[in-house]
Amino acid sequence: MTTSSPPAAARVRARVERFHEARVAGEWGGRELFFGRSPEAGDVLVNSNDYLALAGDDRVAKSIADSLADGLGTLASGVYVHGDHPQLVLERDLAAHMHAPAGVLCQSGWDANLGLLQAISDAHTPVYVDQIAHMSLAAGARLAGAPLHVFRHNDLGHLRSRTDRHGPGVIAVDALYSTNGSHCPLREMCDLAEETGCVLVVDESHSLGTTGPLGAGMVVELGLAHRVHFRIASLSKAFAGRAGFVTATDPAFVPYFRLESFPAVFSSALPAHDVAGLSATLEAVRADEWRRDRLHQVSEWVRDEVAALGFDLEGSVSQIVALQTGTEWATIEVRELLEEHGVFGAVFAPPATPRDRALVRLSLHAGLGDDDVDRIIAACESVRDRWR
């Protein structure tokens, strides 16, 4: 059978060409969006999610090295992990840390979100997602074939109008939003979920380790652990590793998840050295209160000074300070200005943000000294004077 449509390979090639012509050559002017000059000694790096400055910590490094010396561990699907396997021990320890009855580890935060939404929603269960929540939540709803309804950021009235129209379902939010550092009104969200008969999912990726008693997260800090059905966390932020974690209020959910969540079934168990590193990191997160104290001190300092310069921080009350730049061209300009002052932030652009809502995010961390903070503020002042 012949068709007038171009072959699939040609359509793929056309998409690639449009990207390079319209975005790289057009919107970026042939420049690089994400990278400029390489950092040098003494530059201030605020472009990662290592909020507690634990990457490379001696305790963690030793645990990883010792584990590597012992062998690779189980290289098979996590379904086959059983008994006193270190991954199961870590799951119990993380669940206890987060004041949850049970939890299950995944290969990544993306897999945790995707797998959870796929496992708890379906064509008859609408999913309500905050408009700036992590994209993996919406992707999980789509994987499940669930009706997806986006509501305006932190707008409880808009969410209620959605649930009134479409019925009880799953509400998915971030405790701390990664693109502007704002908090979700979790108490009010719990009230709404209970009143409407919805299941509440809270992504704690950017608040676990940095917030709450011993870094147990925002849900625990607010005393809401018994009211939130599921919590998710990427362990690539304050835990400086590579895994995802899902908590559940019912221990029976864990074996269900292992066999019903596609990422859980079709991904290998975590490598033994990753488990060892995360176990050591959990101990450090709980023990090193000074890291959270310093993080909060630095974050408040930078937020206050940058807001005083006239930047709209969109309600940030956290270690995430975003300079809203708009177009990708403007984002390149701002990134280069910051780099001239030796400050390296992280560029966020579509698809991580809506079109013309690109930004440069400053991810503050516990390892910043006072001189580093002064340099960040001076760089932001230069951005204000030369760009805004």
In this prediction, residue 78 carries a pLDDT of: 75
SS3 361: strand
In this prediction, residue 82 carries a pLDDT of: 79
Alpha-carbon gap, residue 307 to 2, rounded angstroms? 61
What CATH number is given to the structural domain containing 341? 3.90.1150.10
Cα R_g (the chain), whole angstroms: 22
- Smallest CA-to-CA distance from 163 within 117, 194, 142 is with 194
Chain-wide mean pLDDT for the chain? 94
In this prediction, residue 72 carries a pLDDT of: 58
Percent of the chain past pLDDT 90, that is, above it, reads: 87
Alpha-carbon gap, residue 263 to 284, rounded angstroms? 29
Q: Which pLDDT band holds residue 69 (cuts at 50, 70, 90)?
A: confident
End position of a domain, from candidates 271, 287, 303: 287
DSSP string, 220-245: HHTT-TTT-SEEEEETTSTT-SS-EE
What CATH number is given to the structural domain containing 252? 3.40.640.10
User: What angle separates helix 109-120 from helix 253-260, to the nearest 10 degrees?
Assistant: 100
In this prediction, residue 85 carries a pLDDT of: 86
Rounded to the nearest 10°, the torsion over CA 305, 309, 311, 315 is 40
Task: Please indicate whether residue 78 or residue 299 has the higher confidence score (pLDDT).
Answer: 299
Give φ, ψ of 212 to 5 degrees. Answer: 85, 170
In this prediction, residue 83 carries a pLDDT of: 81
Domain co-membership, 335 together with 203: no
Alpha-carbon gap, residue 306 to 321, rounded angstroms? 9
In this prediction, residue 129 carries a pLDDT of: 98
Domain co-membership, 283 together with 367: no
Q: Which pLDDT band holds residue 388 (cuts at 50, 70, 90)?
A: low
Contact, 202 vs 228, CB < 8 A? yes
Alpha-carbon gap, residue 140 to 128, rounded angstroms? 12
DSSP string, 125-157: S-EEEETTS-HHHHHHHHHTT--EEEE-TT-HH
Instruction: Look at the block and give the residue holding tokens 């057009």.
Output: 26
Q: Averaged over 68-76, what is the pLDDT?
A: 72
Q: Averaged over 365-383, what is the pLDDT?
A: 97
Domain co-membership, 67 together with 188: yes
Q: Which pLDDT band holds residue 331 (cuts at 50, 70, 90)?
A: very high
Percent of the chain past pLDDT 70, that is, above it, reads: 97
Residue 93: its H or E element: helix 86-97
In this prediction, residue 52 carries a pLDDT of: 98
Task: Please indicate whether residue 300 or residue 388 has the higher confidence score (pLDDT).
Answer: 300
- Cα distance from N-terminal residue to C-terminal residue, the chain: 58
In this prediction, residue 3 carries a pLDDT of: 57
Domain co-membership, 352 together with 271: no
Q: Is 12 a member of any domain?
A: no
Domain co-membership, 126 together with 249: yes
Q: Which pLDDT band holds residue 70 (cuts at 50, 70, 90)?
A: confident
Domain co-membership, 212 together with 296: no
Domain co-membership, 82 together with 47: no
Q: Which pLDDT band holds residue 269 (cuts at 50, 70, 90)?
A: confident
Cβ neighbours for 309, distance < 8 A, ≥ 6 positions apart: 377, 380, 381, 384
Domain of 144 in residue numbering reads as: 59-287
Q: Is 25 a member of any domain?
A: no
What is the CA 239 to chain-centroid distance, rounded? 12
End position of a domain, from candidates 287, 314, 347: 287
pLDDT digits (tens, 9 = 90+) for 122-176: 999 999 999 999 999 999 999 999 999 999 999 999 999 999 999 999 999 999 9
DSSP 183: B
Number of domains in the chain: 2
Instruction: Look at the block and give the residue holding tokens 């709404």.
Output: 192
Residue 387 confidence (pLDDT) above 80: no
Residue 61 confidence (pLDDT) above 90: yes
Contact, 311 vs 380, CB < 8 A? yes
Residue 84 confidence (pLDDT) above 90: no
Q: Is 10 a member of any domain?
A: no
Residue 173: its H or E element: strand 170-174
Q: Is 18 a member of any domain?
A: no
Domain co-membership, 122 together with 46: no
Domain co-membership, 81 together with 151: yes
In this prediction, residue 2 carries a pLDDT of: 55
Alpha-carbon gap, residue 56 to 66, rounded angstroms? 15
pLDDT digits (tens, 9 = 90+) for 205-237: 999 999 999 999 999 999 999 999 999 999 999
DSSP 108: S
Q: Is 377 a member of any domain?
A: yes
Domain co-membership, 47 together with 96: no
Domain co-membership, 315 together with 215: no
Alpha-carbon gap, residue 233 to 245, rounded angstroms? 5
End position of a domain, from candidates 287, 318, 333: 287
Give the number of other CB atoms < 10 A from CB of residue 356. Answer: 13
Residue 1 confidence (pLDDT) above 60: no
Domain co-membership, 185 together with 257: yes
In this prediction, residue 355 carries a pLDDT of: 87
Q: Is 331 a member of any domain?
A: yes
In this prediction, residue 332 carries a pLDDT of: 95
Task: Please indicate whether residue 77 or residue 112 has the higher confidence score (pLDDT).
Answer: 112
DSSP string, 276-334: HHHHHHHHHHHH-HHHHHHHHHHHHHHHHHHHHTT---TT--SSEEEEEEESHHHHHHH
In this prediction, residue 123 carries a pLDDT of: 97
